[in-house]
A and B are shown apart, each in its own frame.
Chain A
Amino acid sequence: MIILALDTSLSAVAACVLNADTNQVLAYETIGMERGHAEALLPLVDRVMARVEGGFSALGRVAVTIGPGSFTGIRVGVAAARALGLACEVPVVGVSTLAALAAPMMNLEPPATVIAAIDARHGQIYVQAFTPEGRTLISARIASVRDAVRLFGGGPLRVVGSGAQAVAIEAWTMGLKADVADVLNAPDIVYVARLGLLADPSVSARPLYLKAPDAKPQAAKHIPLAGSNQPF
């Protein structure tokens, strides 16, 4: 099966095509950028797919990072992936950005708890912890750096992502052994494809925001109404 993977959830726009049967990367492109994902993604997908024999009709699946990350970036990726899935009549699977960041750090020596941490600003991180073999230890969540590190238990930790340095510093102050493996703020797109192959194709990709919209219900402020004329 041939899978197309997309990522626009953090500081890059990336796509790759992987042949699952031969484990061969057929085409690959990634561009680092903080903004402009909506303009850059589809021309990039066009270039990547042009290098794949059979083009879009060769695809068997689309994978996309669903976050956590930039809300807008997540939606660019998911909207594109789901439309491509509709056009190609193939399943669209979601891949957690945290899982994709952590994936290259599994089963390394010496064994360590793998922490994926993305800077969520205002002193907070999106974070998930994995056993050295890749099982989830602490599920994906948003937390302050301190609260997150308290959850990890003993070390050693291998930390990856844009929040890695903050996590490592906090871990050191608590006397834990922590190693910053990578501070890149975007997952390796080939791992997004690999994780996409493992995902359940019957569950369509949906954004994983981990944060509610920043809006509060309004107490309706209106001019006083007579007793018999309460709000509708």
Chain B
Amino acid sequence: MMRVLGIETTCDETAASVVQLRPSGGGDILSNEVMSQIAEHAAYGGVVPEIAARAHVDVLDHLIKRALDKAGMKLSQLDGIAAAAGPGLVGGVIVGLTAGKALALATRKPFLAVNHLEGHALTARLTDGIAFPYLLLLVSGGHTQLLAVKGVGDYVRLGTTLDDAVGEAFDKVAKMLGLPYPGGPQVEKQALHGDPERFTLPRPMMGRPNADFSLSGLKTAVRIEAERISPLTKTDVADLCASFQAAIVDVLADRIRVALQRFETQLGAPSALVVAGGVAANGAIRRALSRFAGEAGLHLIVPSPVLCTDNGAMIAWAGIERLGLGMIDDLTFAPRPRWPLDGKAELSLNGKA
């Protein structure tokens, strides 16, 4: 049974996991170790690349050891070593990529350089064993894209953000409202008690025929409203968060609708709508997507929150998929800070694709 170790160090989470291919389809996660650096970066209000890289190199080998121990595996029992080689913060990527190559070299196992985004994109096949092609909404602090997933390494980008990623917009709104870092979950928490209709905020790109996003205007609208009524009471903050989140939810549903039309024109019906990335942990967004999928008659797959945020299991799984297809990499593989899934699509203006 094919087993692969996955290593993830592209942002502020150090992660290692062992995943085993299940004969009936999908995979079994034998271990999934994650060490978050949120505390190290909190004082800076965002991820500091040099601090992240230092933290990765300090803990990675211990974390790999723990992932192996929890899986009850020795390196010699694995069939391959996979490491995320980008996109992300290059200082961190280098740590995981180098460690992965070194393990593969010393154990004479195949090495698999995995695109972090492909890890997110293929997670639904790990958890649910679904068939290609499917429609993917990838939403995180660094990425916001709609993709047609046609096969391993075969993606068509249907839409991307022209400025901020969704998670980034959440974090920036949190910051301007004085909420602690990381702000995304805080905005969601505040929104629970807020009035989503108190502020009239724009829904940028709604109704446009392409499936792209633009969120910086929405963020600015929140700022203008907040400055207009400041100083802000607790209720103001909650209402701003609720109104902002409601606008994001509307935009997401509209953009997915457009992407689905484009998908169906090009490829026929998708096997599912899959949501991945850290923002997929947001409850309001999950509920809205579930409503949308129900109306559209689509099978919706939202991986559990631990598999939506950065993790090693998705890298291990992408490694299993690639190893099964003989897509093995060599030890000269260079880190790729930018690495779009759809190589044919134009580079997005901000490099966030």
Contacts and interface: CB of A to CB of B under 8 A. Distances in A.
A42 interface: yes
A31 interface: no
A229 interface: yes
Interface stretch (A22-30, A82-90, A175-183): A82-90
Interface string B41-53: 0011100101101
Interface stretch (B135-143, B207-215, B227-235): B227-235
Contacts of A81: 102
A169 interface: no
A120 to B, nearest CB: 15
B4 to A, nearest CB: 15
Given A38-B334, A42-B102, A206 B91 contact: no
Given A76-B98, A84-B106, A226-B232, A215 B48 contact: yes
A191 interface: no
B107 interface: yes
A71 B50 contact: yes
Contacts of B179: 232
Contacts of B330: 43
B338 interface: no
B98 A41 contact: yes
Given A218-B44, A223-B178, A232-B180, A83 B234 contact: no
Contacts of B103: 83-84, 86-87
Contacts of A83: 60-61, 64, 98-100, 102-103, 106
A80 interface: yes
B272 interface: no
B57 A78 contact: yes
A3 B98 CA distance: 20
B234 A228 contact: yes
Interface residues of B, number: 53
Contacts of B61: 82-83, 85-86
A3 to B, nearest CB: 15
B177 A226 contact: no
A36 B58 CA distance: 22
Given A86-B103, A87-B107, A222-B176, A39 B45 contact: no
A232 to B, nearest CB: 5
Nearest to B96: A79
Contacts of B91: 71-72, 75
Candidate in B96, B106, B186 with the most chain A CB atoms within 10 angstroms: B106
B101 interface: yes
Interface in A207-222: 207, 209, 213-218, 220-222
A49 B65 CA distance: 24
A interface bracket (residues with beta carbon within 8 Å of B): 35 or more
Interface string A15-53: 000000000000000000000101111110110010000
Contact of B98 (A38, A86, A224, A231): A38
Nearest to B60: A79
Contacts of B106: 56, 83-84, 87-88
Contacts of A198: none
A227 interface: yes
A151 interface: no
Nearest to B99: A83
Contacts of B176: 222-223
B19 interface: no
B331 interface: yes
A86 B65 contact: yes
A215 B51 contact: yes
Contact of B102 (A75, A80, A206): A80
Contacts of A46: 105, 331
Given A38-B98, A80-B98, A223-B230, A86 B64 contact: yes
A82 B58 CA distance: 10
A224 B230 contact: yes
Given A38-B98, A86-B65, A206 B48 contact: no
Contacts of A215: 44, 48, 50-51
A71 B53 contact: yes
B117 interface: no
Given A83-B102, A87-B107, A38 B97 contact: yes
Interface string B87-120: 0000100111111111101110000000000000
Interface of A: 36, 38-43, 45-46, 49, 56, 71-72, 75-76, 78-88, 206-207, 209, 213-218, 220-229, 231-232
Interface of B: 43-45, 48, 50-51, 53-54, 56-58, 60-61, 64-65, 75, 91, 94-103, 105-107, 175-180, 186, 223, 226-227, 230-234, 236-237, 330-335
Given A83-B99, A86-B65, A87-B102, 13 more contacts: A38-B97, A39-B332, A75-B56, A75-B98, A79-B95, A82-B61, A88-B106, A213-B50, A214-B50, A217-B43, A223-B226, A232-B179, A232-B186
